[in-house]
Amino acid sequence: MIKIVPKNYVFEHLKKDFPKANSANKQLEKYCKYLESLINSSILNGRNPYQVKLKRFSAPLKELGDKGGRIGGKTANGTKVIRIHKWLSDNGYTFFHAIEYGSNLNGVISEFNLSEHIDFEVEDIYAKLESMTKNDLDFYIDNFQTDDLSLIKRHLPKEELSQIEISNLYDSLEIDQISLKNYIKQLLTNKTLNIFKRKNICIQAYYLLRYAQYTKGTLYQLKSESIFGRNYYKGISVQNIHTTLREAIVGDSYEYDIKSCAISWRIAFAEEFYKSIKDDNKSINEIFETTFFYLTNKQEFYNDIKENVFDSNCGLTDAEINELLKDIFTSLNFGARLTARSWKDKLGNNVFAAVEGFFREYIEDYEPYHNRFLNDVLVKRFNDEQNLLSQYICKRFKKEYPYLDKIKELKKDNFRTNQSKLMAYLFQHAETYMMDTVREELYKLNIPILANIHDAIIVRHKIPTIEKERIEKLVRSKFSVHFFRLGEERLHSVA
């Protein structure tokens, strides 16, 4: 985690401007603490290799300006109260150099480098733990550290909330602390993940352990409903951590997820599309040959791409390549452009397309692999088939539900409906409806759900096969998604 200390001349100037305020040091320290908490919250979600290499960070800078504190008192020109953030900017002491400013409109969090007006140190939790002896490590992780308290309190329910209010606002999860401690120890010697992954996961695991120690085992996940249909959580949760870490904190249980969810939903419209084009020269299987290949034999599909795109120098394990490909193909199904590269926005900031962003996140020297992927024949065919379905689905729903064209969140530049946003809106609502049906059926069976992850749920015990098959059949019938299937994976505590 990061520690920030302003240069002494910044403090001296602030004290000179507000000699009577008697709080320059206190207010500047408060501002630094708030900036630290914003950056640390972002670090919890993981920095990609590119950000680490260039010493870049992310945080909602507008929130820093609004909540970073004020200072006031008598000056040569009378009494004055000003935000610390504005005073720093006005006097040329801004603590960051923005690479890209985020906003609620573009859905991007600001990215920046820290400036020369501060000293800062990013604590390498992974290196710190790795350097300890076995006995020192056991003692350290067994005992709560008060230095971690400020970040933990940022993600706790407010003290004034009642238990009913907490239940309405938060989903709680009991963390298996013994499993999590063992996971951290094993992560330090796990060479199957690249070093960037290990470090990012270690930060999350360490934080969750300290959180659980403070709350006596409970993780409070603040609910956040999206207009696009999904139910998210704010802050770190079961939804945004690595799958192996999720398994460690939940412990012995079973996870059920919709297999190839986005593509299964999309291909449900293939027959309608085929009837609309009235093509006697090609069958539906020929038009969507690559999509059916993906749905019926995904691993072979991935293997064909891996052979043409990746090599031993990419630094990824086979499992990590599979994870990367899964992320990419999910984004393609939400409308990500296959051929798009980085570009400049209206402010001159670099913006990276989703596919390139994934390669940047996984591979340090990513460009050769990104280029091969963009030019892979199988990838291109798959993308062309998905584009055919996307255009048809958007046209169909806009005709049937004209109100979709009036939803401002689906607009591009507040003018016309964006196809990618509309596809995300339609799919995420469909995904939620299908999973809600699964949850309703489990409720009838008195099977409690431990965790929700968009297209997946985790339960403590195995769902009887006959009930699982009944639920799958019900969803297929109810939503006409004929490839709907619940994958089953047994999760284990780390011993």
Burial of 411 (0-12, 13-18, 19+ CB in 10 A): middle
Query: Does the pLDDT value for residue 213 go beyond 50?
Result: yes
Domain ranges of the chain: 2-122, 125-247, 261-491
Q: How far apart are CA 410 and CA 404, in angstroms?
A: 8
Q: What angle do CA 470, 471, 476 make, to 5 degrees?
A: 100
Query: Does the pLDDT value for residue 16 go beyond 90?
Result: no
Burial pattern 115-126, b for ≥16 Cβ within 10 A else e, equals: eebbebebeebb
Q: Summarize the confidence of residues 259-273 as an average pLDDT.
A: 91
Contact 209, 166 (CB under 8 A): no
Query: Does the pLDDT value for residue 489 go beyond 90?
Result: yes
Query: Does the pLDDT value for residue 58 go beyond 80?
Result: yes
Contact 214, 144 (CB under 8 A): yes
Q: Summarize the confidence of residues 412-423 as an average pLDDT.
A: 83
Q: Summarize the confidence of residues 263-267 as an average pLDDT.
A: 92
Q: How far apart are CA 55 and CA 118, in angstroms?
A: 14
Q: Which band of pLDDT confidence, cut at 50, 70 and 90, is reported for residue 7?
A: very high
Task: Give tens-digit pLDDT for 153-174.
Answer: 888 999 999 999 999 999 999 9
| Cα distances (angstroms) measured from residue 69 to each of 27, 118, 221, 449, 483 | 6, 18, 27, 42, 54
Q: Where would I find the H helices in 98-172?
A: 125-130, 134-142, 149-154, 163-169
